[in-house]
Each structure stands twice: as C-alpha cells, then as structure tokens.
C-alpha cells in the first residue's frame, strides 16, 4: 500500500466521523495552544525579571543591613546591631580598589507640595554617583551635585514633575517636602518601574539631607559598582571584611551581587515555566484519549472495510500503519491549529501589555508539535492493533449483520 493510499484512507475515515474528528482536533489544539501560551508567559516573566535587574547597572554589589543566609534574594529578617552609615560607604570606596563608585541610599515617603498641589511621594536620598550606577538619564537640568551634600535641592521624576507642575517648567521652582523646602534643579527622563519602585514618581535629594528629613542615622542600602565582572567575588569578600572591622567584628550585613540575584530568580522562574507547561500538557493527554475514542469507533464502524483489505492481502503491519497515519494526521493537524492559536494569543497579549515580553522559545514550537503528534500515535496504537487483529471473514460477516 502506497503512502498516498494510506493518507487517502485516513482522510476518508476522518471525514466519515466529522463531529468526533472536530472535537478531537479541538482538544489537541487547546492543549498545544495552552502549552505554547503558558510557556511564553513563564519565559516572558524570566526575561522581564532579568531585564529589570540588568537595568540596575553592571557589576553591581548591594549592601543590605542585617545578616541573612538567603542566597541572592533580599533578606526576610533584619538582625543588624549596627546601622549602615555614610562613613561605611566612604570606607568601601576608599579601601576597596576594585570599587569605582558608591551610592548610599535612603528611602522614605513624605508629602510633597507645590503651590496648591500636594501628594504623597517616594523620597530617595542618594548621591551623584547613582546616576551612573543605575544608568539614569536626565530630561532637563542637572542631577544632584557632587559637593554640597546637605544642599536643599531636589531632582523630580518625570511623573512627579507632571503632577506637581502640570503647566509650567519646574526648574528653579520650590517644592515643600514635610517641613523642608527644596529647589528643583533637574527633571529625570521617564524610566518606569524598576524592581518594584516607580522611578517616575520619585523625588531625589542629597543623602545627608534625607537622613535629616527622616531623622535617621542609618542607610537603607549601599550600592557599589566594581570595575570588572571578574572582580565581583573578591570585591564582595573585601567589602565584607572591611564592614566587619568597622562593626566591631560582627558580620551584620548581607552583600549580594547582581549575578546571585539573577541566578536565584532564573531557577525559580524556570521551575515555574516547567510547571505551567506540565499543567498545560495534561490537556494533551485528555486530547489523546479523545483521539483513541475516535479511532476505536472508526475500527468498529469500518470493520467490513478492514476485512476487505485483509482479504486482498494487506498485511498486519500495513493495517496498523493505516490507523496510525489516521491518528498522526488528526493530532498533527490539531497541533498546527494550536500553534497558530497560541502564537496569535501571545501576540495579542503583547499588544495589550507592551512592557511585558511575551516570548515563546523556538524549541517550544517544535517540541509542542512533536508531542502532539506523539500523543496521537501513542493513543492510536490500541485501535490500530485491534483493527489488525480482526479476522477478515468475521469482519465481513459482522458488517453484513
């Protein structure tokens, strides 16, 4: 029996049971589309998180108050007996040769007002070096000065500038934050949300001024940038040693690297992607049962045809091939439809949420189609074997009855 005859026989069987064929095809399509879409979402989440941490800057080390045993993630419990101070930041910059820049960070919320406009705002106390460490850009004006650490000046995020000064240029104007007045010297370029903080809704002021505004003595974080990626591990150990010396021999800080954070999130998100794909793949198994049901009914209703084929000399293997081709055609067609639907759904979500990368790895497309075809063949074996085992005389008699 030629390949063309096999395909024609399979197509005739599928046309003879159109409703069942359509339902089975729909089941395979839903399974493949689900695998494709959920895998794309999981991979997109991984790329989004990776991009967010990459935007923090290259060769970054983050010093966090409190000792924790977590590997790469922010600590859950702060047990620091000593505050991180500006002197600690200066010591790291002066005593660790590999460190090129250091930016102490103070974060808090306060009410900002300009004229008759007022709102709660995130206040970020820092230094000029954060501009290069975080790869921030200015829209107009200038950033915080390198000198005059206690100057009453501020830089507005793009969103904060629009809300506080909707119809005028904020440069040179005054903003009241709590009991303090600050002169606006710059406007940040739009940045959006970065690691949970909307940088467009932030007002940046000198770090020493921020400590006085919030009446604090300790820093929220210290950001340090190493000169080379190769130096990160050695730099991390040197930073830990210096801070231990300054904190009376206690190792009461956590120093994490960008690589450690990305590695931890990659492991978590890859596991999540695999779990989502596994859940979606269950529907392919259900679709396989549907294919098997269609094939079993096809064997029963086409017994005379099968008997005739065997009577004219069709071999056992050829009968099995006939029904396996039918199952493969059904599952492959469903897989192709599922691919089209899944890719279209991903494209639609990407248009709705342009900031979130909906990314389908190329290997997933091939794997989903291969799995769909394999499911069809796997669940087609039992009906195919049953057809091949039919006695041709009994098959013909059963059909006549």
Domain range summary for the chain, segments of one domain joined by +: 3-52+266-400, 81-251
Lowest mean pLDDT among 27-31, 139-143, 379-383: 379-383
For 125, how many CA atoms within 13 A lie in the half-sphere containing its CB?
A: 30
| 187 vs 33, higher pLDDT | 187
pLDDT value of position 111: 92
Distance between CA 352 and CA 354 in Å, rounded?
6
Nearest CA among 101, 220, 221, 203 for reference residue 152: 203
pLDDT in tens, 194-213: 666 788 999 999 999 999 99
pTM over 0.75: no
pLDDT value of position 401: 40
Q: Residues 114, 119, 125, 129: is their CA dihedral positive or negative?
A: negative
When pLDDT is averaged across residues 179-198 and rounded to a whole number, the result is 85
Distance between CA 285 and CA 401 in Å, rounded?
36
Q: Is the pLDDT score of 6 beyond 50?
A: yes
When pLDDT is averaged across residues 354-379 and rounded to a whole number, the result is 80
pLDDT value of position 310: 63
| Percent residues over pLDDT 70 in the chain | 75
List of E strands, 73-188: 99-114, 117-126, 138-141, 153-156, 174-177, 180-188
Residue pair 25/326 in contact (Cβ under 8 Å)? The answer is: no
pLDDT value of position 133: 86
pLDDT value of position 9: 64
Distance between CA 133 and CA 101 in Å, rounded?
7
Residue pair 203/175 in contact (Cβ under 8 Å)? The answer is: yes
Segment of 212-216, 272-276, 365-369 carrying the highest mean pLDDT:
212-216
pLDDT in tens, 282-333: 766 776 776 776 666 666 666 666 666 666 666 767 777 777 777 788 888 8
Give the number of other CB atoms < 10 A from CB of residue 29: 23
pLDDT value of position 87: 93
Q: The tokens 């064929």 sit on which residue?
A: 21
Distance between CA 263 and CA 266 in Å, rounded?
5
pLDDT value of position 38: 81
When pLDDT is averaged across residues 363-371 and rounded to a whole number, the result is 81
Residue pair 170/156 in contact (Cβ under 8 Å)? The answer is: yes
Q: Is the pLDDT score of 72 beyond 50?
A: no
| Confidence band, pLDDT 50/70/90 cuts, at residue 399 | very low
Lowest mean pLDDT among 15-19, 134-138, 355-359: 15-19
When pLDDT is averaged across residues 20-35 and rounded to a whole number, the result is 81
When pLDDT is averaged across residues 144-167 and rounded to a whole number, the result is 88
Lowest mean pLDDT among 1-5, 203-207, 333-337, 361-365: 1-5
For 67, how many CA atoms within 13 A lie in the half-sphere containing its CB?
A: 10
Q: Any idea what DSSP says for residue 401?
A: -
Output the average pLDDT for the chain.
Answer: 80
pLDDT in tens, 240-271: 999 999 998 888 888 888 766 667 666 777 77
Q: Is the pLDDT score of 143 beyond 90?
A: yes
pLDDT value of position 105: 94
């Amino acid at each position: 029996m030629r390949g063309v005859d096999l395909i024609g026989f399979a197509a005739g069987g599928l046309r003879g049971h159109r409703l069942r064929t359509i339902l089975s095809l729909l089941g395979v399509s839903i399974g493949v589309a689900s695998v494709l879409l959920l895998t794309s979402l999981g991979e997109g989440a991984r790329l989004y998180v990776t991009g967010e941490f990459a935007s923090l800057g290259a060769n970054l080390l983050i010093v966090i108050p409190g000792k924790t045993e977590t590997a790469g993630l922010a600590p859950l419990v702060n047990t620091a007996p000593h505050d991180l101070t500006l002197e600690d930041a200066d010591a790291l910059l002066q005593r660790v040769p590999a460190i090129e820049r250091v930016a102490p960070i103070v974060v808090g919320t306060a009410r900002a007002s300009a004229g008759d406009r007022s709102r709660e705002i995130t206040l970020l106390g820092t230094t000029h070096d954060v501009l290069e460490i975080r790869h921030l850009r200015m829209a107009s004006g200038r950033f915080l000065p390198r000198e005059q650490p206690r100057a009453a000046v501020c830089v507005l995020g793009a969103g904060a500038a629009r809300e506080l000064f909707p119809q005028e240029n904020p440069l040179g104007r005054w903003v009241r934050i709590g009991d303090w007045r600050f002169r606006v010297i710059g406007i940040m370029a739009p940045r959006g949300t970065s690691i949970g903080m909307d940088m467009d809704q932030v007002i940046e002021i000198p770090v020493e001024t921020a400590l006085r505004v919030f009446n604090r003595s300790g820093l929220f974080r210290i950001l340090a940038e190493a000169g080379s990626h190769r130096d990160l591990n050695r730099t991390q150990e040197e930073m830990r040693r210096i801070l231990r010396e300054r904190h009376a021999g206690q190792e009461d800080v956590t120093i994490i690297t960008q690589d450690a954070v990305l590695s931890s999130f990659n492991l978590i998100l890859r596991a999540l992607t695999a779990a989502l794909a596994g859940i979606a793949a269950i529907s392919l198994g259900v679709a396989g049962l549907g294919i098997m049901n269609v094939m079993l009914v096809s064997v029963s209703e086409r017994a005379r045809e099968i008997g005739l084929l065997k009577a004219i000399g069709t071999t056992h293997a050829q009968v099995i091939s006939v029904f396996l081709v039918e199952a493969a055609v059904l599952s492959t067609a469903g897989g192709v439809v599922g691919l089209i639907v899944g890719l279209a759904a991903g494209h639609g979500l990407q248009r709705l949420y342009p900031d979130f990368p909906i990314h389908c790895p190329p290997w997933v497309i091939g794997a989903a189609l291969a799995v769909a075809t394999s499911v069809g063949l796997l669940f087609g074996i039992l009906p195919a074997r049953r057809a091949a085992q039919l006695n041709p005389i009994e098959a013909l008699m059963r059909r006549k009855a």
